[in-house]
């Protein structure tokens, strides 16, 4: 009989004997057993067959002439034995070995058939090739044990022989052996050392009749890859046990034991976080390898992915389990990477990349594994390593549409090894074919968009995908973002099922309508409801949304954009948000009602803003500034941006009114300015004219004596030069400047000419002063005043012309009245009868003949100006 499971083959010998003396006839009593393979997906050359079956040999005895002589009896063998077993594995840290005991009980259930009976006389179990001290005992007696190779170079068959086991009989066999473990990075896959051990546990038998125990010091931690183990603590030890079968043959589960306190621990700081490296004791080579790849390679992975390291990793552990089961792994729940002892950088970068690319970020095992391996290969190439690629063909053994490649069960039951081999080779080959024409930047942009869940129907950076992206979103990004041609053909060849292929024609049809909509609405994105349906490949619902929107809404959106661009202000955010974020039927209905009105108002505001911004003459622009036209235009744009369409329309009309009004306001400003200028000019001219016509101080005529007029002129000249200001005084001759007048102080005494007293201007004259009975006002012309003075004084010998006939009292010219009283209305009291000088008058100077010039009075009886003394 042959029994096969993933890691063990149980075989024995069945004998068929007649009641008479038998004749021995050899016969092949065997059946083909499938091989269970655990393959490291990162490297096909490292494929190892963890356990393999070997065709058992046996003999069958039949009576002479019996037709069964030499016949194969697989059915008889397979149905004739009941098995139960209990396996116990004890880690011994002192000897750094694992002690194994297995108790197996077998019972022959095949009844005799007439003259034939069936019995068993041997039974075998697989043991590691390096197992030591293998023994088998039964009923207190040692059984002979022989070893035979299997198809697995690291496993032997240990077979014990015993006496015939007839129908209904049972036999219990106790096996014991020691697992010393193979050296690190040796060809074997069993490892036992200080503080660690990795080996496969197994118990062969019928359901409910098998159990496994693993015993280790309490300080050790336990990991199993298959099945569920319970834990108990006693006497400083831990015992992990299970009786749950893992397959139809019983229990098979690789386990790992490790003592963290005895493992070599190294802390590495990566991305601001500390990672723990757990290696086998003294395996410094592994630690150095991993540390260097973390520090040097992680930045390269970040650049390749286009994202910072997301974390989610606490430790990286060296273990032999990947060598046994064929997988290294990243566990997001425990935040741990477990890799083997092999220094495989492509495998290391593969598992490290899984912190970004995993089942939570992408959908589809083929896409997760294919993209992860593609990134790892690019990183290895970038860092100068050697890239290893597994080749396969579409019709290889185990081939399937990659979209149907499922994750294995957590306990690795029912693993289809040919399928795993094919898919692990085909998935990265497919991804590499899809991105073959992309450079590093394009590849990074694609990966970042995919991992961020971006949709090809959104602007880069936006995320509206409601679930992890899969092959559909990948296809959209490849075509719309990366511009890859032929992506559909590659996917149809390697990835898609026939049902999935039928989605592509519908996609092409609806995408044509979508792009027409996107063209019609200008630079805005189509409504979100349409974009989401396209992203999710719900093309029927996308068509319904598009039809609900209609043709007028996209056209209105374009009109809004064109109007805003014409005036130079941004697209109204409220209108744009309403359009781009519309996601339901109610939203679409509202758009059909509001967008055309918004477009009309936007055009009105655009026209108003352009009129307000148009260049005009400076006067009109000044008027617009005074009317705050620009502020009104800005307010209209703000109202439009906020979605207050009615207020924006009113604002646009108001701006237009202000622009029209500004012209007339400008004209009025010109008129006002000209009026002000003319008024100022008139006032300036008038002020200057009044200064020119203001009367000068009257200079009364003096007696016609020599030198009087010259003295006045000298006085006037002295006034003009203002002595004492530092200017030099002009010298005069005796003829030009008369000698100083003598004063009563005595002969020869002289005195500077004193300044004139303040001059009292006569009242103004006018045409109303022509009546002879009215007092005559002083003339404004200085010459006239002087003439009048001379006339009043009776003339002077120095006058060039005859004296005026109008003399005081008819006195002859040159004769001074003794009383000094002029003719006319002047009172005689104005001059003393004795010829003296009044107290408030300066004395008259002596003329050349010794006569004294008297003061004069004006016609109105007032005191005239007194000339300076001579």
Q: Give one word for 507, left, alpha or beta, with left for phi > 0 and alpha for psi -120 to 50.
A: alpha
| CB contact burial 298-330 (16+ within 10 A = b; e otherwise) | bebbbebbbeebeeebebbbbbbbbbbbbbbeb
List the chain domain ranges.
2-258, 267-482, 502-683, 781-810
pLDDT at position 694: 62
> 681, exposed or middle or buried, with CB in 10 Å at 0-12, 13-18, 19+?
exposed
The neighbour count for residue 70, using CB atoms within 10 Å, is 12
Distance, CA of 862 to CA of 494 (rounded, Å):
134
pLDDT number for residue 737: 43
Q: Dmax of the chain from CA atoms?
A: 211
Closest CA to 362 of 259, 465, 271, 273: 465
Name the stretches of the chain with pLDDT < 70: 1-79, 324, 409-414, 463-466, 693-870
Sheet with strand 141-142: strands edge to edge: 141-142, 132-138, 170-179, 97-108, 81-92, 210-217, 237-242, 230-234
Percent of the chain with pLDDT over 90: 48
Under DSSP, the state recorded for 152 is S
Question: Structure tokens of 150?
Answer: 């299997």
Which of 311, 317, 254, 297 minimizes the C-alpha distance to 383? 297
Determine the Cα angle at 32 with ends 29 and 37, to 5°. Answer: 145
Q: How far apart are CA 87 and CA 377, in angstroms?
A: 43
pLDDT of residue 717: 60
Closest among 581, 596, 461 to 532, alpha carbons compared:
581
pLDDT for the residue 757 = 56
Supply the Cα-derived Rg of the chain in whole angstroms.
63
- CA dist., res. 26 & res. 246, Å (int): 36
What are the tens digits of pLDDT across the range 589-623?
A: 999 999 999 999 999 999 999 988 888 788 777 87
Query: How far apart are alpha carbons 627 and 621 in whole angstroms?
Result: 10
Structural domain 2-258, CATH architecture: Sandwich (2.60)
For residue 390, the number of C-alpha atoms closer than 13 Å in the C-beta half-sphere is 25
| Residue 334 token pair | 């425990």
Residue indicated by tokens 């006045």: 712
Structure tokens at 58: 């046996």
DSSP letter (8 states) at residue 212:
E
Cβ count near 297 (within 10 Å): 21
Interatomic CA distance for residues 177 and 190, integer angstroms: 14
The 3-state DSSP composition of the chain as helix, strand, coil percent (nearest 5) reads 35, 20, 45
Which CATH architecture group holds 267-482?
A: Orthogonal Bundle (1.10)
Asked if residues 153 and 120 have their Cβ atoms less than 8 Å apart, the reply is no
Are 335 and 274 in contact by the 8 Å Cβ rule? The answer is no
Q: For residue 102, what are the β-bridge partners?
A: 87, 175
What is the distance between the alpha carbons of residues 683 and 705, in angstroms, rounded to a whole number?
47
pLDDT at residue number 851: 43
Q: Is 96 helix (H, G, I), strand (E, B) or coil?
A: coil
């Amino acid at each position: 009989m042959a029994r096969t499971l993933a890691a063990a083959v149980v075989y024995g010998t069945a004998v068929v004997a007649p009641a008479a003396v038998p004749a021995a006839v050899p016969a092949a009593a065997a059946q083909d057993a499938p091989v269970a393979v655990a393959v490291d997906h990162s490297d096909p050359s490292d494929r190892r067959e963890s356990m393999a079956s070997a065709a058992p040999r046996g003999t069958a005895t039949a009576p002479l002439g019996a037709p069964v002589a030499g016949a194969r009896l697989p059915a008889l063998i397979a149905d004739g034995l009941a098995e139960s077993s209990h396996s116990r594995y004890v880690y011994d840290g002192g000897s750094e070995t694992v002690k194994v005991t297995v108790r197996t009980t077998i019972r022959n259930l095949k009844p005799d058939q007439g003259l034939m009976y069936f019995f068993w006389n041997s039974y075998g179990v697989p043991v590691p090739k390096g197992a030591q001290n293998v023994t088998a005992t039964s009923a207190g007696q040692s059984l002979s044990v022989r070893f035979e190779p299997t198809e697995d170079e690291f496993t032997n068959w240990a077979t014990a022989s015993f006496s015939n086991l007839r129908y209904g009989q049972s036999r219990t066999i106790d096996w014991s052996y020691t697992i010393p473990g193979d050296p690190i990075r040796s060809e074997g896959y069993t490892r036992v050392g200080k503080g660690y051990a990795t080996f496969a546990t197994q118990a062969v038998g019928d359901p409910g009749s098998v159990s496994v125990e693993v015993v280790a010091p309490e300080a050790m931690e336990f990991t199993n890859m298959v099945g569920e183990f319970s834990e108990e603590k006693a006497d400083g030890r831990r015992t992990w046990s299970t009786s749950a079968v893992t397959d139809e043959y019983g229990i098979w589960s690789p386990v790992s034991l490790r003592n963290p306190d005895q493992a070599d621990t190294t802390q590495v700081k990566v991305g601001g976080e500390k990672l723990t490296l757990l290696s086998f004791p003294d395996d410094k080579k592994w630690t150095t390898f991993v540390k260097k790849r973390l520090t040097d390679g992680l930045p390269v992975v970040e650049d390749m992915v286009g994202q910072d390291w997301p974390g989610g990793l606490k430790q990286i552990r060296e273990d032999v389990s990947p060598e046994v089961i064929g997988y290294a792994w990243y566990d997001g729940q425990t935040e741990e990477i477990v890799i083997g002892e092999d220094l495989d950088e492509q495998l290391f970068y593969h598992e490290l990349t899984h912190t970004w690319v995993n089942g939570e970020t992408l959908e589809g095992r083929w896409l997760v594994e294919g993209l992860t391996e593609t990134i790892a290969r690019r990183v290895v190439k970038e860092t100068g390593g050697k890239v290893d690629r597994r080749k396969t063909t579409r019709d290889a053994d185990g081939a399937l549409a990659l979209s149907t490649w499922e994750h294995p069960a957590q306990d690795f039951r029912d693993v289809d090894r040919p399928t795993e081999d094919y898919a692990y080779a085909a998935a990265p080959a497919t991804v590499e074919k899809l991105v073959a024409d992309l450079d590093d930047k394009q590849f990074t942009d694609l990966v970042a968009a995919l991992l961020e869940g971006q949709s090809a129907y959104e602007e880069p950076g936006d995320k509206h995908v409601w679930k992890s992206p899969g092959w559909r979103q990948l296809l959209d990004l490849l075509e719309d973002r990366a511009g890859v041609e032929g992506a559909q053909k590659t996917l149809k060849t390697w990835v898609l099922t026939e049902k999935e292929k039928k989605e592509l024609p519908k996609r092409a049809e609806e995408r044509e309508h979508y792009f027409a909509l996107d063209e019609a609405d200008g630079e805005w994105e189509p409504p979100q409801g349409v974009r989401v349906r396209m992203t999710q490949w719900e093309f029927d619902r996308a068509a319904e949304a598009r039809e609900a929107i209609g043709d007028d809404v996209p056209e209105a959106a374009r009109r809004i954009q064109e109007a805003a661009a014409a005036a130079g202000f941004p697209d109204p955010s409220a209108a744009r948000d309403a359009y781009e974020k519309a996601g339901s039927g109610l939203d679409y209905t509202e758009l059909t009602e509001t967008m055309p009105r918004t477009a009309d108002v936007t055009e009105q505001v655009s026209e108003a803003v352009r009129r307000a911004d148009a260049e005009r003459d400076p006067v009109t622009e000044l008027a617009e500034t005074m009317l705050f036209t620009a502020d009104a235009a800005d307010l209209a744009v703000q109202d439009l941006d906020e979605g207050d369409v009615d207020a924006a329309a009113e604002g646009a009309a108001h701006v237009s009114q202000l622009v029209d009004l500004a012209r007339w306001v400008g004209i009025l400003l010109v008129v006002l300015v000209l009026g002000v200028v003319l008024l100022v000019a008139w006032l300036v001219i008038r002020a200057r004219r009044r200064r020119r016509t203001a009367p000068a101080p009257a200079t009364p005529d003096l007696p016609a004596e020599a030198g009087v007029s010259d003295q006045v002129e000298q006085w006037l000249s002295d006034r003009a030069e203002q002595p004492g200001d530092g200017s030099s005084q002009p010298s005069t001759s005796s003829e030009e400047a008369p000698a100083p007048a003598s004063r009563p102080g005595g002969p020869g005494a002289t005195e500077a000419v004193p300044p004139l007293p303040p001059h009292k201007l006569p009242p103004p004259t006018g045409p109303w002063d022509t009546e002879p009975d009215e007092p005559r006002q002083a003339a404004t012309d200085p010459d006239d005043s002087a003439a009048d003075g001379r006339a009043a004084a009776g003339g002077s010998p120095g006058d060039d012309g005859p004296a005026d006939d109008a003399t005081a009292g008819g006195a002859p010219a040159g004769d001074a009245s003794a009383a000094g009283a002029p003719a006319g209305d002047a009172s005689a009291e104005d001059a003393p009868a004795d010829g003296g000088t009044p107290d408030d008058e300066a004395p008259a100077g002596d003329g050349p003949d010794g006569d004294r010039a008297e003061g004069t009075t004006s016609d109105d009886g007032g005191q005239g100006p007194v000339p300076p003394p001579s």
